Amino acid sequence: MKTENPSIAVEQVEPSRSENSGRWLFKWRVRNATETPMNLLSVRLPHGKFKAEERKFLPKVEIAAQDHFIVDLAVACEEPPNTIVDNAFLILLVNWQENQWRFFARLRIMVNEQGQPQTTTESITVQQVGFSGVSN
């Protein structure tokens, strides 16, 4: 019997806008690409040049099958204009079919001539939490 994995799509939906020096407000559309609802538990961006602390959703956010949720995060990015930052990850923790899963959306950040960062999702991988004996 084949075990199905959860699937999502992630795209930046709104240009970031400056809140204050070196901080940007980003919004991404996270779409549940499965036929089963999932619950979004937390999201974070751990890259040193494109970073946001973990945001936990209490209560958890239910994303219906084939539906989406807008995630917003205040992100620290102080890179100069015309910089490209590779391998930043938007990491999402979800509950799907009674198991926890971690999504790794690999982002490429391009800082435009005005110094405003924009993201492109390059790939998304998923791992079940605890599959390797590690739960956090």
Q: Tens of pLDDT along 87-119? A: 999 999 999 999 999 999 999 999 999 889 999
Question: In this structure, are residues 42 and 93 in contact, taking their beta carbons and an 8 Å threshold?
Answer: yes
Band of pLDDT at residue 46, cut at 50, 70 and 90:
very high
Class of domain 8-128: mainly beta
pLDDT tens, position by position, 55-88: 999 999 999 999 999 999 999 999 999 999 999 9
Cα 8 from chain centre:
10
| Cα–Cα distance measured from residue 87 to residue 18, given in angstroms and rounded to the nearest whole number | 22
pLDDT value at 1 more than 70? no
Virtual torsion, Cα 79, 82, 83, 87, nearest 10 deg: 120
- pTM for the model stands at 0.91
For residue 74, give the 3-state DSSP assignment: strand
Ramachandran assignment for 63, one of left (phi > 0), alpha (psi -120 to 50 degrees), beta (any other): beta
